[in-house]
Amino acid sequence: MDSIEPVIFIRNVVKSYGDLRAVNHVSFEVPPALCYGLLGPNGAGKSTMMKMIYGKALRDREGGEIRIFGFDPAADELAIKHLSGVVPQDDNLDEELDVVGNLMIYARFYGLPKKIAKERIDRLLGFMDLNEKRKVAIRELSGGMKRRLVIVRALLNNPRLLILDEPTTGLDPQVRHLIWDRLRKLKRDGVTILLTTHYMEEAFQICDRVSIMHKGEKVLEGAPQDLIEKNIEAYVLEVMDPSKLEKVCGLCEDPAIRQDRTGDMALLYSDDIAKLKAVQEGMEPGGCYLRQSNLEDLFLKTTGRSLNED
Amino acid sequence: MKTETMKIRIPALPARIISVWARHMSVYTRNLFSNAFPPFLEPLIFLAGIGLGVGMFIRGNVDGMPYLLFLATGLIITPAMYTASFECSYGTFVRLEYDHVYDGMLAAPLTYRDVIWGELLFVGTKGVFFSLSVLIIVFSIGIVRNPFSLVTPFVGGLTGLMFGAIALVITSFVNNLNYFNFFFTGFLSPMFFFSGLVFPLSNLPKPLQFVAEILPLTHPIRMARSLCTGRLDGTIVFDFFYCLLFIVVFGYLATKLLKKRLIF
């Protein structure tokens, strides 16, 4: 057993809800101690994909293969859950109990003896900066504290795999950075991490690899920086008032510039920064912004700009 | 990753079910007084109002016993029915759809069966507890005297399991809290009056007696009455097996039907 087996092995997985294909022939692998991000708009199938990994959702019959630590969730969900910690999208804490009370309930789910549970709770509350909140009622916790507490809960059994569904949605920048920092530490300790996110910055900050999902399919996969370099122009000129572009439309019609008009804004993409600068200088000053392209640009390019609300 | 070297010690089935039970117990007992006092008081108010009030007009014995005893033996059982029904309808629905309690549980090493059976064990426990608390009152004020009555909390536990299971089956179909009104007003309330609690079934026309014999509440009430009066005969064995069969059938259906609401 010298070759490194992936912690997560997903091949050709299909999941349908009635006529809707929520996940359509998705494959990916996550080797140990790596952070893998699933990106995509709402309804792309990220959460469903994640739930299939720990048996909360079942893939279709003949719906491909899933192996987590070598276990199939359809047959060995308990082994997978024992080795994994899950941070669901909602903070489903028991409001009736205090911080430690909530954690003791889960320690019992994992079958931890009381003494070990208490030691771990102490250590993990310290790890997530919640030490002073031990006896605090859940309703008195801020959103960021609740989120950190759910992460502590997921870490109770010393998981080898941590699964997080939108871990920092709705949190302030301080808490987001704290969570990212702790996730990096866990990764250094050998924990494999799988997360879903809408935040491109989050993916960029902590994910070694990401895949972008759209309408149940994996459309792109790779290291965040590679994906940007290979799939989108290096620079973007954001123009708030596209009517200004009329004066310089000669410069814009260059084949090296790709235009993307969205509502009352125009985005000009190019690998040649000089050409974009020329456009910028040709316009009246103000109302435009030249920057490097980022994962968000790539995300919007691959998944489109329309809202995904149906 | 070498799976061989990883320690995987998953708690055994009984420990998993008890861990779910323990979660419900700690959440419930956190506000024990406000949670438990009203359902405990209700049968006593009924006993005082109907037993002492209406009972004044009842001359002689009912079913061979004073009316107060007749009524009290049934009222040991009904709080078990109501709390189990509430817990596994409104309670389960809120845990499922609003509080997402089961999402968390199912991410821990628990199966959907552990979750459902742990919940039933909890309402069974509540059944024992509420029957016991009413028994203590009616025993200490001298309405019930037979030592066999000490077994009735166990019948309360069976009642909790029965109505927990049927409420879970109902919940598996419900998408809106308001639909539970049909269960309470359409099923439980009439049963309260037609299961030999307030008046003997022998007062009913024959066809209705047959219907009452099918209704689940009839059987634990008759068991409790036999135990409280010491009139033990073969009927109690029949009633016991009716209760067991009911729990097995509806417990099985609840597990099968609720699975679709938990794992999808």
Confidence (pLDDT) at A4: 78
Confidence (pLDDT) at B60: 84
Tokens 């609690």: give the residue.
B197
Lowest mean pLDDT among B29-33, B71-75, B155-159, B258-262: B29-33
Does B224 map to a domain?
Answer: yes
Confidence (pLDDT) at B59: 80
Nearest-CB residue to A70 (from B3, B9, B104): B3
Nearest-CB residue to B99 (from A86, A92, A106): A92
**A237 vs A257: CA distance, rounded Å:** 10
Q: Which residue has the higher pLDDT, A249 or A166?
A: A166
- Segment 4-23 of chain B within 8 Å of chain A by CB: 4, 6, 8-11, 15-16, 19-20, 22-23
| DSSP character at residue A89 | S
Confidence (pLDDT) at A90: 87
Those residues whose C-beta lies under 8 Å from the C-beta of residue A42, and which sit 6 or more positions away, are A198, A308, A309
Confidence (pLDDT) at A150: 97
Q: Is the pLDDT of residue B5 over 60?
A: no
| DSSP character at residue A19 | T
Question: Which value, to the nearest 10 degrees, does the dihedral of the CA atoms of residues B140, B143, B145, B146 take?
Answer: -130
Q: Which chain A residues are Cβ-neighbours of B109 within 8 angstroms?
A: 78, 81-82, 109-111, 157
Does B3 map to a domain?
Answer: no
Chain A: residue whose CA lies nearest to B3:
A69
pTM recorded for the entire structure: 0.91
Confidence (pLDDT) at A306: 66
Chain B: residue whose CA lies nearest to A70:
B3
Nearest-CB residue to B8 (from A79, A90, A92): A79
CB contact under 8 A, A105 and B26: yes
- Interchain CB contacts (distance < 8 Å): A and B: 97
Lowest mean pLDDT among A270-274, B52-56, B231-235, B255-259: B52-56
Does B147 map to a domain?
Answer: yes
Q: Which chain A residues are Cβ-neighbours of B22 within 8 angstroms?
A: 105, 108
Confidence (pLDDT) at A1: 43
Q: Indicate the burial class of B231 (C-beta count within 10 angstroms; 0-12, 13-18, 19 or more).
A: middle
Does B133 map to a domain?
Answer: yes
Confidence (pLDDT) at B2: 44
**pLDDT tens digits, A24-69:** 999 999 999 999 999 988 889 999 999 999 999 999 999 999 999 9
CB A260 within 8 A of CB A225: no
Confidence (pLDDT) at B8: 81
Q: Which residue has the higher pLDDT, A129 or A240?
A: A129
Q: Which residue has the higher pLDDT, B63 or A191?
A: A191
- Segment 170-209 of chain B within 8 Å of chain A by CB: none
Q: Is the pLDDT of residue A2 over 50?
A: no
Tokens in use for B75? Answer: 């009222």
**pLDDT classification of A307: cutoffs 50, 70, 90:** low
Q: Which chain A residues are Cβ-neighbours of B6 within 8 angstroms?
A: 69, 83, 160
**B77 vs B135: CA distance, rounded Å:** 9
Nearest-CB residue to A109 (from B6, B19, B30): B19
CB B135 within 8 A of CB B153: yes
Question: What would the mean pLDDT of A193-215 be, rounded to a whole number?
Answer: 91
CB contact under 8 A, B10 and A71: no
Please give the order of strands across the beta sheet that includes A65-68: A20-30, A8-17, A65-68
**pLDDT classification of B1: cutoffs 50, 70, 90:** very low
Question: Containing domain of residue B56, as a range?
Answer: 13-263
Q: Is the pLDDT of residue A235 over 90?
A: yes
Does B185 map to a domain?
Answer: yes
**How many domains does the structure of chain B reveal?**
1
CB contact under 8 A, B263 and A92: no
Confidence (pLDDT) at A228: 87
Those residues whose C-beta lies under 8 Å from the C-beta of residue B165, and which sit 6 or more positions away, are B88, B120, B246, B247, B250, B251, B253, B254
Q: Which chain A residues are Cβ-neighbours of B103 within 8 angstroms?
A: 56, 88, 90, 92
Does B120 map to a domain?
Answer: yes
Question: What would the mean pLDDT of A256-279 be, rounded to a whole number?
Answer: 87
Q: Left if phi > 0, otherwise alpha if psi is -120 to 50, otherwise beta: which for A273?
A: alpha
Q: Is the pLDDT of residue A295 over 90?
A: no
| DSSP character at residue B158 | H
Tokens in use for B98? Answer: 């609003």
Q: Does B36 touch chain A (CB under 8 A)?
A: no
**pLDDT classification of A308: cutoffs 50, 70, 90:** low
CB contact under 8 A, A108 and B22: yes
Tokens 């079942």: give the residue.
A58
- 3-state class of B60 per DSSP? coil
Question: Which value, to the nearest 10 degrees, does the dihedral of the CA atoms of residues A108, A110, A115, A116 take?
Answer: -160
**pLDDT classification of A279: cutoffs 50, 70, 90:** confident
Confidence (pLDDT) at A288: 86
Q: Which of B73, B71, B82, B77 is nearest to B46 (CA)?
A: B71
CB contact under 8 A, A109 and B9: no
Q: Which residue has the higher pLDDT, A152 or B1?
A: A152
**pLDDT tens digits, B51-97:** 888 888 888 889 999 999 999 999 999 999 999 999 999 999 999 99
Confidence (pLDDT) at B6: 60
Confidence (pLDDT) at A61: 92
Confidence (pLDDT) at A181: 97
Q: Is the pLDDT of residue B125 over 90?
A: yes
Lowest mean pLDDT among A213-227, A293-307, B5-19, B65-79: A293-307
Which residues partner with A221 through β-bridges? A211
Q: Which residue has the higher pLDDT, A302 or B92?
A: B92
Confidence (pLDDT) at A273: 92
Share of chain B above pLDDT 90, in %: 88
Does B5 map to a domain?
Answer: no
Does B1 map to a domain?
Answer: no
Q: Which residue has the higher pLDDT, A177 or B58?
A: A177
Complex confidence, ipTM: 0.91
Which residues partner with A176 through β-bridges? none
**pLDDT classification of A251: cutoffs 50, 70, 90:** confident
Q: Is the pLDDT of residue A265 over 90?
A: no
**pLDDT tens digits, B9-43:** 899 999 999 999 999 999 999 989 998 999 899 99
**pLDDT tens digits, A140-150:** 999 999 999 99
Tokens in use for B234? Answer: 């073969």
Confidence (pLDDT) at A109: 97
For chain B, the average pLDDT equals 94
